[in-house]
Amino acid sequence: MIAAVLVFLLFVGGATLAVAGALRGFNALERIALGAGAALVGLYLATGALWLAGADWRWLWLWPIAGATLAWRQRAGLKELLAESLVGATLAGWLVVAAWSAGLHALVFSYSGGTWAVDWFEHYERALFFQQRWPADHVFVAGYLLPARPPLANLAEAGLLAVAGHGFPEYQLIASLVASLVFLPLAALAQAGGTSPRAVRWLVVLLLLCPLFAQNATFPWTKLPAAFFVVLAVALGASPTAGPRHHAFALVALAAGLLTHYSVAPWIIALAAGAAAVGAGRKIDATARPALLRGGVAAVLLAATWFGWAALHFGPATLATATSTVGHAPAVDWTRKIAIAAANVGHSLVPDFSSPNAVMLLAQTEVWGRIRDVAFVFYQVNLLVAFGVGNVCVLGWLAARSPGGPTRRFWLAAIGVAVALGIGTHSRLDELGLAHISLQPLILMGLAWVARAAGSLPGWLRVGWGIGLAVDFALGIVLHFGLQSLAWLRALHPGTGPAGLVRGLSEVAVANFENKYRVGQPFVADLTTAGHAAIWGGLACLLGFALWRARFAAQTRGSRETAGPRPVF
């Protein structure tokens, strides 16, 4: 497992710094975020090329060698970049978030929570599909063919597994570390136009206390890596110094996001709608056209590496119908489809706890399991509570005070389209909510806005905010991971074995437990059981340190940053 962490730092961390040192024309945090994006895209292309060529995976060692060479050639720029205080605070913040994510994953003895199942193993299978070169017509555990999911994150993780070892514990750690990279563009977004690291430190705290982030960083699928690219595109477009190169790289980031998860497609349309709402693009400066053209061509070529190959190999019809949105869509007319979409939007705001899935969750015999699963529904698939109880109140206060103008028009249009398409493109009725599929970028960007405004909130709102964060942490993280680790249940039912403890939870939790043993491999938690107390203590220390640093930053207001409840985008 240590090898997995070291390989990630070498292959992804090294490439991130090397590219960031070479970039010019962007601020420091944009360079770091772009470097991480380039590392993931580069690993996708390198691993994909070796997979198609049938070449030995040892050729991947050329990747860190190339990164080291680039870093050496750009050592002056890299030294200057690392000397900036914001960069130091951001890299330290990422280390805290990454350690938190990996530590939480070391507590997951068996996945449970709501109706989430199978996906954690399907994406491991997808990484193994590339790393072990399985037949192209392989049917994955969920019954999907290869084109049902785009492969950028799976291929990047497959490359890392090919070097670090392909066991499930290695995959868990690598998936968590890749997911934690979303912190970097969020930091760039939170710090847009600022010079004090206060917002970055608050962002660390908010992510550590956010149930949505904690669960998605430890349920190894590709939604947070996809959110990384959406947030990166927004951060580039929202930069105070945004120019043609920013927008060109934003186009490439969106293409990379689409190659990571198809749920990025609604965001491409939503951001275009936001740009149209403020009149952007009606008259493009002639000097900007070459950069935008290059960015557009690069985005198309990047997307074609998957869509072109898949269309040629599987056929356009199979590619188009492989996803659940199309392939599993009920055979109903457009009127019924619109009604389903509208109902799903409504359920994402007010879940229906009389539905069959809710009844199944409430039927479990373990009372703490019922409490956890009700909280899980709100924190993971509800569009409002997913921000966090305290954060959604702060966001409401900020939105009410935000001035009108182009920024407001942009976000009203973009959010409206993202919500409508992000939820509406799910073709089947879901009575509990669907905010987790496409709207994680929106929720995370909301946290970046809160982090930026944290130092300017009135006292009464801070008190309510703090109480809300404590509730989120208790119900969405402590209780949730206490049950996933079985520590909570062992304390309540001493002497009962793991199978007996899990049987008190929901049918989905039992299915996840059974699937774990079908995998036939240990989890990280199985290899660290003796150190669970140390892990809990370490996580508590990380949280305490982050809270202290954020509080210290809030008290030192003698900075050049202009704080205020204005929109950050």
CA quadruple 200, 206, 208, 211: dihedral sign: negative
Q: 112: helix, coil or strand?
A: coil
Q: Tell me, what's the pLDDT at 195?
A: 65
Separation of alpha carbons 219 and 179, rounded Å: 10
CA-wise closest residue to 146 among 314, 364, 305, 367 = 314
CA-wise closest residue to 184 among 311, 17, 344 = 17
SS (HEC) of 349-386: HCCCCCCHHHHHHHCCCCHHHHHHHHHHHHHHHCCCHH
Asked whether 264 and 421 are in contact (CB, 8 A), the reply is no
CB within 8 Å of 70: residues ≥ 6 apart: 18, 19, 21, 22
CA distances from 43 to 15, 37, 185 (A): 10, 10, 19
CA distances from 300 to 129, 189, 293, 308 (A): 25, 25, 11, 10
The tens-digit pLDDT sequence of the chain (569 residues) is: 789 999 999 999 999 999 999 998 899 999 999 999 999 999 999 999 999 999 999 999 999 999 999 999 988 889 999 988 899 999 999 999 999 999 999 999 999 999 999 899 999 999 999 999 999 989 998 788 999 999 999 999 999 999 998 899 999 999 999 999 999 999 999 987 776 788 999 999 999 999 999 999 999 999 999 999 999 999 999 888 888 999 999 999 999 999 999 999 999 999 999 989 887 656 677 777 888 899 999 999 999 999 999 999 999 888 888 776 666 666 677 788 889 889 999 999 999 999 999 999 999 999 999 999 999 999 999 999 999 999 999 999 999 888 878 888 999 999 999 999 999 888 788 999 999 999 999 999 999 999 999 888 999 999 999 999 999 999 999 999 999 999 999 999 999 999 999 999 999 999 999 999 888 899 999 988 767 777 767 777 777 777 766 666 566 544 444 433 333 44
Single-letter residue type at 234: V
> From the DSSP assignment, how many helices (H) and strands (E) are in the chain?
32, 0
First to last CA, the chain: 39
Q: Tell me, what's the pLDDT at 552?
A: 63
Asked whether 220 and 172 are in contact (CB, 8 A), the reply is yes
CB within 8 Å of 295: residues ≥ 6 apart: 245, 247, 248, 249, 250, 251, 252
CA-wise closest residue to 27 among 184, 186, 182, 188 = 188
Token pair 């493009």 in the structure block, residue: 284
Separation of alpha carbons 124 and 567, rounded Å: 39
Separation of alpha carbons 432 and 357, rounded Å: 8
* Secondary structure (DSSP) of 121-186: HHHHHHHHHHHTT--TTPPPTTS--GGGS--HHHHHHHHHHHHH--SHHHHHHHHHHHHHTTHHHH
Token pair 């917002």 in the structure block, residue: 199
* 159-193 CB burial, b ≥16 within 10 A, e <16: bbbbbbebbbbbbbbbbbbbbbbbbbbbbbbbbbe
Separation of alpha carbons 235 and 249, rounded Å: 11
285 burial via Cβ count (<10 Å: 0-12, 13-18, 19+): exposed
Helix axes 28-53, 75-82, angle to 10 degrees: 130
Q: Tell me, what's the pLDDT at 29?
A: 95
CA-wise closest residue to 24 among 16, 14, 15, 34 = 34
Q: Tell me, what's the pLDDT at 166?
A: 87
Q: Tell me, what's the pLDDT at 280?
A: 64
Separation of alpha carbons 209 and 476, rounded Å: 9
CB within 8 Å of 28: residues ≥ 6 apart: 81, 84, 86, 87
Asked whether 179 and 217 are in contact (CB, 8 A), the reply is yes
Q: Tell me, what's the pLDDT at 563?
A: 39
Q: What angle do CA 187, 189, 192 make, to 5 degrees?
A: 105
Asked whether 367 and 472 are in contact (CB, 8 A), the reply is no
Token pair 């009700």 in the structure block, residue: 374
Number of Cβ atoms within 10 Å of the Cβ of 407: 17
Separation of alpha carbons 187 and 30, rounded Å: 9
